[in-house]
Each structure stands twice: as structure tokens, then as C-alpha cells.
């Protein structure tokens, strides 16, 4: 009899993170993750292609959210406003209940070369989704690429700040602050250097 339970995806994610912390990423198998979650191996593969995707499965959904938010922005919206809308669209993934998972995920990725490489590929996918959506709104290639890199950097910065153990500030506030800060820093690149004796 199949073991169907609600919230299977989150249960698998929590089980995987716990096992990765206990045994290490390389020593943990899909079967062990499914068993720890109280689910079957086939249930695991209905949700994730492999054990790496437990950590990155949400990235495809995130890329779609970013793209949809940009495309849904008002025709008169600036590129900065489109990036802010994209960042806002990620807010449902950053609830207080998921804060502990973000901490575990961040530590695991930092400690595992294979996962750091996978994260870079997923970030490139986010950047591509943003750039494609901006080009669809009429942005030229260079502007779309620059803005997409700025958007991904703002998102990565916001995620890192939100995931800090002592943080209690909502993700959206952090994301908007990160985007404004990066925009200001980018604008300052052409300013005269402040040379002080």
C-alpha cells in the first residue's frame, strides 16, 4: 500500500537535510531520505530527480516566479521596478517556518564542492529567466543581462541576510534594501574617487 502523506516535498527536504548533517551529503542515499521521511523511494522521485535537487528543486519554481512577475509588471514600470517585483514574488518561500531549513541548506552547500557548483548553475538559470523576461519587455541584450545579474545578486544577498541565525526581519524588506544598495553602489562606480589624505 502506498504511503501517501501530505507535505511530502517538505518532509523529504527536512529528512534529507537532517541526514546530510548527520552522515554527510555523499554518504546519504535516496532510500535513506525516503525512509527517514516515512515515504517510498518512488515518492521521492515524483518530487525530485536526485538528492541534489532536494536542495535546489525550488529554483525552477523561483525562476518561473521571477519571470512571471517581470512580465506582469505595468508596461510603464522601470527595470528596477521589475526587479523589485521579481524579488517580491519569492516571498512565499521565505517564511519563519523555513528559516531553519535555509540555515542548514546554506551550511551544507558551503561545505560541499559539488553543491556549490550546482548552485552556480541554478543561479545562472535564474539570471537567464530574468534576462529573457526583460528582453520580452523590450530591453536590449546588454541591459537585460546587466539587470539580471543585479537582480540575482540582490536575491542572493537578501537570502544570505534573511538566513542569518539572528535575523527576524521579513525577506521582502531585506530584498528591497539589498536591491537599493546595489543600485546605489552601481551608480557610484562612475563617481570620482573620494581621495582623503
- What average pLDDT does range 17-39 have in this prediction? 94
Exposure string over 35-49, b if 16+ CB within 10 A, otherwise e: ebbebbeebbeebbe
Question: In this predicted model, what pLDDT tens digit does every residue of 131-147 receive, in sequence order?
Answer: 999 999 999 999 999 99
Question: In this predicted model, what pLDDT tens digit does every residue of 146-193 receive, in sequence order?
Answer: 999 999 999 999 999 999 988 889 999 999 999 999 999 998 988 766
Burial class (CB in 10 A: 0-12, 13-18, 19+), 182: middle
Q: Check residue 73 and report its DSSP letter.
A: S
- Looking at residue 7, its pLDDT comes to 86
pTM: 0.85
Question: In this predicted model, what pLDDT tens digit does every residue of 76-86 receive, in sequence order?
Answer: 999 999 999 99
CA-based torsion, 95, 98, 100, 102: positive or negative: negative
Long-range contacts of 113-116 (CB under 8 A, 24+ apart): 114/25, 114/52, 115/25, 115/52, 115/55
- What average pLDDT does range 15-24 have in this prediction? 93
Measured in whole angstroms, how far is the alpha carbon of residue 38 from the centre of its chain?
27
Q: What is the mean pLDDT of the chain?
A: 90
CB 55 within 8 A of CB 105: yes
Amino acid at each position: 500500500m502506498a504511503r501517501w502523506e501530505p507535505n511530502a516535498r517538505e518532509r523529504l527536504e527536512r529528512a534529507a537535510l537532517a541526514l546530510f548533517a548527520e552522515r554527510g551529503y555523499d554518504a546519504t542515499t535516496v532510500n535513506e531520505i525516503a525512509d527517514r521521511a516515512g515515504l517510498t523511494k518512488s515518492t521521492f522521485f515524483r518530487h525530485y530527480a536526485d538528492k541534489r535537487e532536494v536542495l535546489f528543486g525550488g529554483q525552477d519554481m523561483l525562476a518561473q516566479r521571477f519571470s512571471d512577475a517581470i512580465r506582469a509588471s505595468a508596461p510603464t514600470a522601470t527595470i528596477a521596478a521589475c526587479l523589485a517585483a521579481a524579488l517580491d514574488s519569492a516571498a512565499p518561500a521565505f517564511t519563519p517556518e523555513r528559516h531553519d531549513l535555509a540555515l542548514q541548506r546554506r551550511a551544507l552547500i558551503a561545505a560541499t564542492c559539488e553543491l556549490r557548483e550546482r548552485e552556480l548553475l541554478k543561479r545562472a538559470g535564474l539570471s537567464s529567466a530574468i534576462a529573457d523576461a526583460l528582453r520580452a519587455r523590450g530591453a536590449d541584450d546588454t541591459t537585460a543581462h546587466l539587470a539580471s545579474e543585479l537582480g540575482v545578486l540582490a536575491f542572493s544577498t537578501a537570502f544570505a541576510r534573511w538566513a542569518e541565525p539572528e535575523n527576524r526581519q521579513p525577506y521582502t524588506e531585506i530584498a528591497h534594501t539589498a536591491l537599493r544598495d546595489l543600485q546605489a553602489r552601481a551608480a557610484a562606480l562612475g563617481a570620482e574617487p573620494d581621495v582623503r589624505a
